[in-house]
Every structure is written in C-alpha cells, then in structure tokens.
Chain A
C-alpha cells in the first residue's frame, strides 16, 4: 500500500504538475485550428489590449510572447547550423519588460489603435484577469511556468467554443490574421488542388483515351465530322489486322517473343551486374575509385548516339574480326552482362547510393562470422536491398521495352516491339494498304497506328497497374536520394 501511496503524493511535485499541464496544453493545441471558425468577431475587440492591458498583466507572466510575424520569419534556425540568422531575434531573455503582448513592431496598426481603444476600453482588464497566462496563443512553447494552476480557468468546465473565444480575445492582431489566413487557405486549397490535378491528369490521360477511342473504331468513322471521342462503330477488326501486320501471330521472329526474351534476360543480367558494381563502389576503398566512378557518371551523360557507330564496328568485327554479332541478340546481352546496358550508369548510381545508406554493422557482423565479401553481399546485403532491386528491375524492363535506338542500330532482321512500332507506318503500307481497292486516307490510317500503340504499351500498362506501388513507393526507398 505504501508503494501505491507514494506515487500519489509525488504527483504534487513540480515535475508532475508540469507534465499534466503540458498534456492539457497539447490537447488544446489540437483543437487550435478550429478556433477562428468559431469566433471571428474578437479580431477588433482585442486590438486595444496592446496599449494599456500589459500594465495589468501580472509580472509573473513570462515574456514568452512574440509577434507571429517575427517568429515565422525565423523558421530556418530549426535546421541545425544551417544558416545562422543575422536578423535580430526578439530574445526572451533580452527583453526585460514583461508587457510584451505586442512588443516590438508597432506596424501600421498604430494608426487604427486609438479608435479601437476608445471603443472598448473595458475589455482589456477583464481579459488580462481571466487569463494572464495567455497573452498569446500557445503554439509558442513556453518554458518554466510558475503559474500552471491558471490552466484550469480555461481548460475545464467550458465548452470548446467558449474556450476558443477567450483565447481568441487574448491573441493580438497578427495572430488572428494568421489564423484566419490559414483557415481560408485550408478551405480553398483542396478545391484548387483538385482543379490542378484534374486538369493535368486529363492532359496525361488524353493520349490513353485517344488510343482507346481510336483503336476500337471503324476507319470510316474518321471521315464523320460528328465523331470526336465516342466512336459510332465499335470493332475489333482494326485490332486484329494490326496484330497480324505487326507479326505478333508469327511463329518465327515474333516481335513479342523477341522483346520478352531480350527484355527479361537483359534486365535480370543488368540488375545483377549493376548491383555488384554499385556495391563495389559503395563499400570498398581502392585506388582510382573516384576516377572510375567519374566514368560511371560519364556513362550517364554521354548519349548513345555518339558511340553507336564505333560500337557497331566493334560488334561487326568482334574478337578481331572473327565473329559478326550484328543481328544477334548478344549485342544486347553482352553489354547487359557486363553492366553496360541501357542506362546502366544510372542504375549503378542508384545501387551505389542505396548500399551506401545501409548500416555498416551488417557486413561487419558477417565478416566477423567468417563470411567472405561476396557471400556477405549475397546473403546479407541483397536481402536487405530487395525493394531497391525490384524498383530498378522494373525500370530496366521499361527502358528495354521502350528502347528502339539500340535495337535499330544493331538489328537488321530481329524485330522488337518498339522497332515494329517505330516503322508501323511503313509496315501497314506494305501489309494492309497495298491492294488497289484499299483506298485509305492518311487520316484513316491513324486508326491502325493508334491500335498499334495500344497493343505495344498494353503489357507495360498491365505491369504498371499491378506493381504500381513498387514503381511509386519503391524509388523513394531505393536510395536515389541521399
């Protein structure tokens, strides 16, 4: 029993009281934003307080109050040592006068004050008596509080509305203006945000809607001026024709299968090799590391177009002219296997940043347990980097899927989806519009082109829809930042 009793008594120690008061204050703080919604009138009535009220404030009230206009200008000191503020901060210690309900800035208010003063002089004393503790709103963290007991005047036995009203009265002009601005902003902003997002989202989705609308209509619909978005004759004929023309039904040299083989294989190779390289750059110190990493950055910067011709001759005369690799899938696989595929520099960079962010203790523990560095990498680092791997892998798939420059440079007969799509106009001319009675105008051709676009991005869209979370959230954890 004694043990139970003693904490009860201790509650009256200063610390306990402080904690309780702190909790109450926190509770009130949450209710804070609603304040201006309830009462807006006091904006005028509180004005007089500035000149004569402070005299009646008990000297015990600590000089914590600062006008909001000044405090807000000094948010930056929160960031440690970021920018030492040269401006004069109204230092609480530096101000001897306790009457700082509106200390420094007299601002333009000074002109309007006298009249307001005259209007409600009686307001001031009541206000200061009712709550001397709060000449300002309490979003300023006040430190030592000898007068915590005053809390009860506000917090208990009063409706929220009432409490807010009283607190509003005790605020100075700038604070009320601040709260009001904040409230108006919070009301209006969602509307504007919706409009902005809706408009821009519409711009982004336009091509998709365009494809859907044009890909499933008869070509005759294109000549009907009354049809813009909603087709009159829905059909799958155009789709089927386009699929046939693109060769997606062929058994040999099928672009879809080619692309998948290239895409998945290269992406896996590239992710693995880039991860290994990135790890090497992130965790080992060796001579020339910065120079070599400079080459990685150069890989990001130099466009493929610059090196494509020499690269062509390298592949054409591979192994000193004994092997011709052109039109072989190895032209994609070999660079991917050696961490030099499409946008490999960027991927190495991402992995390096990511591995740098992992705690060193992980590997130290593994080393102590007798793991070799490669085993450590496979067993300890890779499992930790799973989300990063997935993100980079997805991006790699997208980049390989969309690439047509490399493919068009090194492939002559091997077809990939994006290559076919790039030449779709020519292919359609040969495959579909080649007979005399197919009298197709350029405008009508759009239907087939859009069908082709839709077909070629559908796999990516499905992938995106399924793994959207990893695309959007994964990159945030993948260490691209930092």
Chain B
C-alpha cells in the first residue's frame, strides 16, 4: 500500500502481460533467435541428434558465416528464381486484392435486398481458405477442367481481354501489359478466395464513416464517384495500410508459396542451416520492401484524430 498509485498501476500492467511474456520468451523469442543463429552456421555444426538439434549460439559462428547466404543466392538452382517469381507475383496480386476487396466492401456496404446473404457468401472464404481444403479443391477443379469456374475465366482470358487489348491498340505497345492483365484475369478464382478477411476489414472501416460526412456530401451534390474519392478513400486509408500488410504477410506465409516450399524441402533434407538462411533472407527482403511501401503509403493516409 505504500507504493505510489502510478507505480502500482504499472506493476499491474506487468501482471496482466506476464502470462504472455513468459510464453513469448519460451515459444517465440528463443526459437526466433535460435533460428537466426542457424543461418550463420556451417551445416556440420548443426548435427541433428536424438533430441532434435544440438544447440548453437552466435558465439559458435565460424569463419565463413556467410556461406549459406552466398550459396542461396549464387549457387542454389531454384532459390533465386523462386524468390523473383514470388516477389513478382506478390507485387502483382497485392494491389489487385486491395482494389478488389475495397470494391466489394463498398458494394456490400450499400443497402439492397439480400445483402446479408451476399455478405455471408463473400465471407465464406474466410473460414475455408486458410485450410488444406482450398488446395485440394483447387487441384481437383483444375484436373477435371469441367467446372464453370474455369470456363468463366477462360472466357475472359482468351477472347474478351485479347480483343479489348487489340481494340485499344495496346497489343502492339506492350506485350507485358497484356500478360499482366491475362494473369490477373485468369486468376479470378484465387483473387476472390484470398480477399475474404480484407473485405471484412474494409467493411468494418466503411461502417465507421460518420453519417454526417455522407449527408454533407449529398447536400453538396456529390456524385457517387466524387463521394468515393473524397470521403470513402480518406476514411478507409488507414485500413488500406493494414490490409496491405495483412495481404503481404498472408501470401508470404502460405505454404504453397514457392520459396516457403523450397525452405520446407530443405528442412526435410536436414539442411537446416541453409533452410534458415533462405527463410531469413526472404523474410528480410519482404520486410524491407513492406517497410518502404508502408512509409510511402503513410504519407497519403488521412487520420481523423490527431
């Protein structure tokens, strides 16, 4: 009772997070540091024994501690290719997912008959897409080739997009652009299925837009288009950032991600040092890119408070 109030409160704070703190040190921080150590080790130092691995720490680091990284980027036949293709893929799909989910969220936020039903359908991927079901179904659908989902996208892919591009005269200008459009349109299935959470988050943000803003805009005679750019976008911009990070992390941690698949392969080969090096360099690259983009986006974000 002699402890001053502020001090006591801060002690209570430690009390509340102590459970988590213990768990984090045990199950998160120590393994994290250990795996960071792995990637500087020689493979010979990392002998798997009966109890899993022999422990190594940073002071065990040998002379050539960059070997694994050098090997990953210079010698490994797949790593660099996979890395580039995954990064390219992420760079392509992330904006698509963001735009798409914002679009759908705006639609689902409007008043119309059967809105509850439509929402239920669009959130369905949230409960299914994280599991193995998605991969199996996706593979099976591709195998049978008899489903209309594929036909649906084939329709777009072969005829309409090409013709549209031809019509616009883009065909001659850039083959790359048409490739991009094609790849996006072909992957409508993946796009829709990986934007469940994002739609949810955007929808939540949209519902936080004050009614007064909407009223004032309609008083001033704003069209829906202007309303979107001047009201909706500023208000949801913090969530665009959140969704961006979520999308990148999501695609980054997927197990069907090529780089991650390669890492897991190497782990199965007992090549832990190399696997850790690949995983960490991938993680570092993604984090640096995300950091830069977050800083850029932050410039354009509108925060209502502060």
Seen from chain A, the residues whose Cβ lies within 8 Å of a Cβ on chain B are 68, 71-76, 78-79, 82-83, 139-141, 175, 178, 181-182, 185, 189-190, 193, 196-197, 199-208, 210-211, 214, 228, 273-274, 276-277, 279-281, 283-287, 289, 292, 295, 298-307, 309-314, 316-317, 321, 334-335, 337-340, 348, 373-374, 377, 398-399, 401-405, 418, 421-422, 424, 442-443, 446, 449-450, 452-453, 456-457, 460-461, 463-464, 468, 471-472, 475-476, 480-482
Contact = CB atoms under 8 A, between A and B. Distances in A.
A446 B144 contact: yes
- Which bucket holds chain B's interface residue count? 35 or more
A207 to B, nearest CB: 4
B52 A480 contact: no
Interface string B93-128: 000000000001001001010001011111111111
Interface stretch (B8-16, B69-77, B82-90, B159-167): B8-16
B13 A443 contact: no
Given A193-B110, A301-B249, A449-B136, A228 B23 contact: no
Contacts of B283: 302-303, 306
Nearest to B122: A204
B181 interface: no
A273 B223 contact: no
A82 B255 CA distance: 42
Contacts of A210: 137, 140-141, 147
Given A286-B14, A457-B128, A313 B53 contact: yes
Given A203-B152, A210-B137, A317-B52, A443 B143 contact: yes
A105 to B, nearest CB: 15
A405 B133 CA distance: 13
Contacts of B221: 68, 71-72, 139, 175, 178
A338 B53 contact: no
Contact of B131 (A300, A310, A401, A452): A401
A453 B27 contact: no
Nearest to A74: B220
Contacts of B1: none
Given A310-B30, A316-B52, A285 B140 contact: no
* Secondary structure class of chain A's binding surface, majority of residues: helix
B253 interface: yes
Nearest to B39: A306
Interface string B15-35: 111011111101111111011
A405 B267 CA distance: 14
Contacts of A76: 230-231, 234
A211 B14 CA distance: 50
A40 to B, nearest CB: 18
Nearest to B54: A313
Contact of A276 (B6, B19, B24): B19
A424 B136 contact: yes
Given A72-B222, A313-B53, A480-B204, A292 B34 contact: no
15 contacts: A72-B220, A206-B141, A206-B189, A207-B138, A214-B140, A305-B263, A305-B279, A306-B35, A310-B32, A340-B24, A402-B130, A457-B131, A476-B204, A481-B238, A482-B208
A6 to B, nearest CB: 36
A141 B218 CA distance: 12
A132 B12 CA distance: 69
Given A78-B216, A203-B152, A277 B20 contact: yes
Contacts of B227: 75
Contact of A306 (B15, B138, B217, B279): B279
Query: A-B pairs with the 7 shortest C-beta distances?
Result: A338-B23, A284-B13, A280-B16, A313-B52, A402-B131, A310-B31, A310-B34
A373 B12 contact: yes
Contacts of A340: 20, 23-24, 26-28
A337 B18 CA distance: 12
B174 to A, nearest CB: 28
B185 interface: no
B216 A75 contact: yes
B19 A449 contact: no
Nearest to B144: A446
B220 A203 contact: no
A130 B295 CA distance: 58
Given A335-B27, A373-B12, A72 B137 contact: no
Contacts of A399: 130
Contacts of A211: 137
Contacts of B132: 402, 404, 418, 421-422
A190 B112 contact: yes
B10 A284 contact: yes
A284 B12 contact: yes
B22 A338 contact: yes
Given A140-B219, A207-B141, A468-B120, A284 B112 contact: no
A302 B217 CA distance: 42
B203 A312 contact: no
Max chain A C-beta neighbours (<10 A), residue from B20, B140, B143, B218:
B20
Nearest to A376: B12
Given A206-B147, A398-B126, A475-B201, 11 more contacts: A83-B302, A197-B107, A207-B137, A277-B16, A309-B38, A312-B52, A442-B143, A443-B143, A449-B140, A452-B136, A468-B123
